[in-house]
Amino acid sequence: MDVVSPDLNSILPDEIMDTEAIAMEEDPPNEPSSSSTLSETEPAQVPMETEVPEIVGLCPATTPTQKTQALTTSTTTDSTLCSNSSGTQLLVTSSSSSGLKPLTTSTTQSSSPVVGQTLPKLSAPITLPANHQLILNKVAVSPAADGKPPGTAVLKQEGQKLLVTGLSKTGQPLVLALPHTWSKPATSQGTGDGKAQTTQFKVVTAGARTDLKPVIGVQAVSSASQLLGSSTPLQAQQLKTVQFTKKTPVSTAGPMITKLIITKALNNKGLTSQAAVQAPVVTGRVLSQTTPSTPPRSIAVGESVSTVPQSISSSSSKVAISPLKSPSKAVKPVQTVAVGGVGQPQFKTIIPLATQPNVQQIQVPGSRFHYVRLVTATTGGNTPQTASPSTNTNPAIQPAKPMMMNTAAVRMSVPIVPAQTVKQVVPKPMTSATQVVTTSQTQQRLIMPATPLPQIQPNLTNLPPGTVLAPAPGAGSMGYAVLPAQYVTQLPQSAFVTLASSSVIHHSLPRKPCNCTKSQCLKLYCDCFANGEFCNNCNCVNCFNNLDHESERLKAIKACLDRNPVAFKPKIGKGKEGESDRRHSKGCNCKKSGCLKNYCECYEAKIMCSSICKCVGCKNFEESPERKTLMHLADAAEVRVQQQTAAKTKLSSQISDLLTRTTPAITSGGGKLPYTFVTKEVAEATCDCLLEQAEKAELTNQPQALAERLILEEFGRCLRRIISFASKAKTDCSINC
DNA sequence: GAGTTTGAAACT
DNA sequence: CAGTTTCAAACTC
């Protein structure tokens, strides 16, 4: 069954088609991919959900069979990563530059979409010795100077560093996380995850923008570590994400979770085939998505034993994906990675599952999106197949939406909510170094645990349409689900860096719902559409920017790309040499706003207008007094808000403390008022009243003494009211009781 | 909340 | 490419 009709496929641009799964004819199962085809593919520029990340094949050099299987995964892209070391495997998926990728990758299994398919089993356990570094380098879109095909990325080993040329679409550095220490590979049963551990997760995303900053990344990998997957020619824009789950450096005791995912765009136009799903590597186990007939196509980086010395030996495996462009910038050996940046970062987040997960791949007919259902295994010993037998055995297409799709195995389904509604993920305090890293705006993927982790559980109800979470199969105690990261925390670059070293709760502004009425949310007028997102909890009318109208949406995307090939790329990018790092790619055309209102895209992005702007009467330049005034006002307003908040908090605390201290006296005697009436809400309301008086006095320029008097009088009124209500309540209670 | 203004996107 | 129209967000009242 065709997910996308041939007619539609024919009209879709390569950018769009690249995002789709591999067609059977192009990617027959078990057939190793050739590295030559990668150059032929165009970088996908389609918004996120429309694209389908492909998992690059992994291939341990030592094991011919595994290598062959790894190659098969990259048939469409021809990119293969084969590390020469033995134990470690990396899960690498490539995606288009747009960052709008399906949640899951798929391996080509059949012409029909596979619904509810279980994730591939773990391949041979791989160990990643410490002291290996994975470095993502920026990949330029233009042809590489070295004669490699444009966008070609190379993974190669250098010493113990793993270098990956990658890029974030938004120009943001790629984030790579590798465990400082690698736990010994767990068995296929996921036994290695027995102990609770401090685990850090870092997200690496390789985007497609040429102006991106160098990627970074990395942590040690054992000498035996291998980077498997479509290493060789990765198109710049196809290399999208690299994900690692990482154990905190300090923690050596527990199992380690390492996962590297490079999302790659698929150039196939067929949606039917299913590529390998992300294969999380848990505690030394390599999870690859595969069917019985199809070898694993995902690359997983196994964990090395934590006890392994982190010495940097020459034998260490350093895998690098050579940048097509500006290689020098690409390679920045940074151990802990932070990627943030301007524009629309594309990150993926990996969150470990506490219990044995089971992931089911879901492919929705008519949609090129891949969905993952997470199913928490009841017992640790359950294999993916056992957990969700129906999915594994029945690759048949299900016409229903992901939410509708089967099965009893699903333990946790997620309601649809606005992507940005999920604002934060609270890391498990101290005990877990789990880090959720995302960046602003769009196209992020989240790998979330199927099991209810305390720190993220509240957010599991805020997932996008069609999202179903289930633990990854074979992950043992750790399960993953891939979700658009936008639904999770969005973090600025600085915040990301902070996360790299500590568990911090980050907040981000949710995307505003659109209010489109005439565009059907299929034109760039619609911010949701422009950002490559589905409308969700928007106020739009006659919205077509959803799964129900995927074909129309694809056509609209094509139309936009026809008009402007970079329509879905961030408008704020890196400027010329010597200019600010951020500038509007096209420049604004403001005429009346002076570029000091949010009508101006430059001002809205909080950047100066540049030489390419065609604005009239621009006041949005560095030395502009108007701009400075605005900035000062804004700063003052912000400070004022902060002060008020602090004052309110302090007042509330003081009042509560005061009332608490006086409570015993009040309540001890018979007939005294119950202190329980002074709740937090009451205290806060009291603070509001006091603050209001303070503001009123301030606005009327009252002397301080008078202001204080007004505040005290208000406080007295508040107390009287509290006492009055308390007395009344007590009286009522006495009567009724 | 309704109406106006604004500039990007879309169209010609 | 330029001019015009459409559109939705930003802004004002």
Per-residue pLDDT at A467:
38
- Tokens matching residue A88: 């470690």
**Stronger pLDDT, A499 or A291, i.e. the higher one:** A291
Kindly state the average pLDDT of the residues A295-302. 38
Residue A563 (CA) to nucleotide B12 (C1'), in angstroms, measures 15
Residue A534 (CA) to nucleotide C5 (C1'), in angstroms, measures 27
Q: What is the pLDDT of residues A325-367, one digit of tens each?
A: 333 333 333 333 333 333 333 333 333 333 344 444 433 333 4
CA distance A35 to A72: 11
- Taking C1' of B8 and every protein CA, the nearest residue is A525
From the alpha carbon of A520, which nucleotide's C1' atom is closest?
A: C7
From the alpha carbon of A567, which nucleotide's C1' atom is closest?
A: B9
Residue A107 (CA) to nucleotide C3 (C1'), in angstroms, measures 50
**Stronger pLDDT, A726 or A37, i.e. the higher one:** A726
Please report residues contacting nucleic strand C, using a CB cutoff of 7 A.
A 512, 514-519, 521, 523, 525-527, 597-599, 604
Question: DSSP label at A124?
Answer: S
Residue A592 (CA) to nucleotide B5 (C1'), in angstroms, measures 9
Residue A526 (CA) to nucleotide B10 (C1'), in angstroms, measures 13
Question: DSSP label at A600?
Answer: S
- Taking C1' of C9 and every protein CA, the nearest residue is A599
Q: How confident is the model at residue A462 (pLDDT cuts 50, 70, 90)?
A: very low
Last residue of a domain, one of A542, A570, A598: A570
Per-residue pLDDT at A524:
94
Strand partners, A161: A133, A158
From the alpha carbon of A518, which nucleotide's C1' atom is closest?
A: C7
From the alpha carbon of A514, which nucleotide's C1' atom is closest?
A: C8
In percent, the amount of chain A with pLDDT more than 70 equals: 26
The sign of the CA dihedral A537, A538, A541, A545 is: negative
Per-residue pLDDT at A737:
60
Q: Which residues span the domain enclosing A667?
A: 649-736
Decide if A318 is inside a domain: no
Per-residue pLDDT at A510:
63
Residue A570 (CA) to nucleotide B9 (C1'), in angstroms, measures 15
CA distance A546 to A86: 44
Residue A714 (CA) to nucleotide B3 (C1'), in angstroms, measures 39
Decide if A583 is inside a domain: no
A102 pLDDT higher than 90: no
A416 pLDDT higher than 50: no
Q: Are A305 and A136 in contact (CB under 8 A)?
A: no
From the alpha carbon of A512, which nucleotide's C1' atom is closest?
A: C9
Residue A537 (CA) to nucleotide C9 (C1'), in angstroms, measures 17
Count of structural domains within chain A: 2
Q: What is the pLDDT of residues A53-72, one digit of tens each?
A: 333 333 333 343 443 343 33
Q: Is A731 exposed, middle or buried (0-12, 13-18, 19+ CB in 10 A)?
A: exposed
From the alpha carbon of A598, which nucleotide's C1' atom is closest?
A: C10
Quick check: helix, strand or coil at residue A683?
A: helix
From the alpha carbon of A519, which nucleotide's C1' atom is closest?
A: C7
A106 pLDDT higher than 50: no
Give the 3-state DSSP-derived string for A147-174, with helices as H, strands as E and coil as C.
Answer: CCCCCCCCEEEECCEEEEECCCCCCCCC
Residue A540 (CA) to nucleotide C8 (C1'), in angstroms, measures 11
Q: Are A361 and A466 in contact (CB under 8 A)?
A: no
For chain C, which bases have at least one atom within 7 A of a protein Cβ? 6-11
Longest dimension (CA), chain A: 91
- When mean pLDDT is compared over A149-158, A162-171, A390-399, A714-723, the highest value belongs to A714-723
Residue A238 (CA) to nucleotide C5 (C1'), in angstroms, measures 37
CA distance A710 to A696: 9
Q: Are A290 and A120 in contact (CB under 8 A)?
A: yes
Residue A529 (CA) to nucleotide C3 (C1'), in angstroms, measures 27
Q: What is the DSSP pairing of strand A281-282 with strand A583-584?
A: unpaired
A623 pLDDT higher than 60: yes
A685 pLDDT higher than 50: yes
Residue A330 (CA) to nucleotide B1 (C1'), in angstroms, measures 52
Q: Are A581 and A341 in contact (CB under 8 A)?
A: no
From the alpha carbon of A538, which nucleotide's C1' atom is closest?
A: C8
Task: From residue A521, give the alpha-carbon distance in Å to each of A343, A367, A463, A529, A542.
Answer: 21, 17, 20, 6, 8
Last residue of a domain, one of A550, A570, A590: A570
Least confident range from A8-17, A320-329, A457-466, A649-658: namely: A320-329
Kindly state the average pLDDT of the residues A367-391. 40
Q: What is the pLDDT of residues A155-205, one digit of tens each?
A: 333 333 333 333 343 334 333 333 333 333 333 343 333 333 333 333 333
In percent, the amount of chain A with pLDDT more than 90 equals: 8
CA distance A371 to A412: 14
Which string of DSSP letters, residue by residue, matches A553-575? HHHHHHHHHHH-TTTTS-SEE--
A523 pLDDT higher than 90: yes
- The dihedral over CA atoms of A456, A457, A462, A466, expressed in degrees to the nearest 10, equals 100
Residue with tokens 């938004």: A170
Helices (H), ranges, A594-703: 601-604, 625-668, 680-699
Q: Is A715 exposed, middle or buried (0-12, 13-18, 19+ CB in 10 A)?
A: middle
- The dihedral over CA atoms of A706, A711, A715, A721, expressed in degrees to the nearest 10, equals 90
From the alpha carbon of A604, which nucleotide's C1' atom is closest?
A: C10
Last residue of a domain, one of A527, A548, A570: A570
Phi-psi region of A163 (alpha: psi -120 to 50; beta: other; left: phi over 0): beta
CA distance A664 to A662: 6
Strand partners, A54: A94, A264
Strand partners, A362: A371
Q: How confident is the model at residue A701 (pLDDT cuts 50, 70, 90)?
A: confident
Residue A599 (CA) to nucleotide C10 (C1'), in angstroms, measures 6
Decide if A659 is inside a domain: yes
Contacts of A95 (CB under 8 A, 6+ apart): A19, A44, A51, A53, A54, A101, A238, A239, A240, A241, A263, A264, A265
Residue A164 (CA) to nucleotide C6 (C1'), in angstroms, measures 45
From the alpha carbon of A539, which nucleotide's C1' atom is closest?
A: C8
From the alpha carbon of A593, which nucleotide's C1' atom is closest?
A: B6
A636 pLDDT higher than 60: yes
Decide if A522 is inside a domain: yes
Task: From residue A164, give the alpha-carbon distance in Å to each of A227, A541, A574.
Answer: 10, 44, 21
CA distance A101 to A203: 16
From the list A465, A360, A384, the residue with the least C-alpha distance to A116 is A360
From the alpha carbon of A597, which nucleotide's C1' atom is closest?
A: C10
The number of beta carbons lying within 10 Å of the beta carbon of residue A302 is 39
Per-residue pLDDT at A514:
92
Q: What is the DSSP pairing of strand A264-265 with strand A53-58?
A: antiparallel
Q: Are A211 and A171 in contact (CB under 8 A)?
A: yes
CA distance A240 to A414: 26
Decide if A525 is inside a domain: yes
Please report residues contacting nucleic strand B, using a CB cutoff of 7 A.
A 523-525, 530, 559-560, 563-564, 567, 571, 586, 588-595, 597, 599-601
Q: Are A668 and A711 in contact (CB under 8 A)?
A: no
Task: From residue A305, give the alpha-carbon distance in Å to each of A128, A129, A161, A181, A251.
Answer: 7, 7, 17, 7, 12
Q: What is the pLDDT of residues A575-591, one digit of tens each?
A: 655 555 778 888 899 99
Residue A517 (CA) to nucleotide C7 (C1'), in angstroms, measures 9
Rounded to 5 degrees, what are φ and ψ at A461? -90, 0
- Tokens matching residue A518: 């005439």
Decide if A547 is inside a domain: yes
Average pLDDT over chain A, rounded to an integer:
51
Residue A588 (CA) to nucleotide C2 (C1'), in angstroms, measures 17
CA distance A538 to A515: 7
Which regions of A62-103 does DSSP assign to beta strands (E)? 80-82, 92-94
Residue A272 (CA) to nucleotide B2 (C1'), in angstroms, measures 50
A556 pLDDT higher than 70: yes
Kindly state the average pLDDT of the residues A32-49. 40
Per-residue pLDDT at A150:
36
Task: From residue A152, give the alpha-carbon distance in Å to each of A41, A48, A203, A268, A691.
Answer: 10, 21, 22, 17, 61
Decide if A698 is inside a domain: yes
Residue A46 (CA) to nucleotide B6 (C1'), in angstroms, measures 29
A242 pLDDT higher than 70: no
Per-residue pLDDT at A664:
52
CA distance A473 to A93: 18
CA distance A203 to A189: 25
The number of beta carbons lying within 10 Å of the beta carbon of residue A662 is 12
From the alpha carbon of A615, which nucleotide's C1' atom is closest?
A: B7
From the alpha carbon of A513, which nucleotide's C1' atom is closest?
A: C9
Q: What is the pLDDT of residues A492-509, one digit of tens each?
A: 333 332 222 333 333 445
- Taking C1' of C7 and every protein CA, the nearest residue is A525
Which string of DSSP letters, residue by residue, matches A639-661? HHHHHHHHHHHHHHHHHHHHHHH
Decide if A692 is inside a domain: yes
For chain B, which bases have at least one atom within 7 A of a protein Cβ? 5-11
Kindly state the average pLDDT of the residues A249-272. 37
Question: DSSP label at A673?
Answer: P
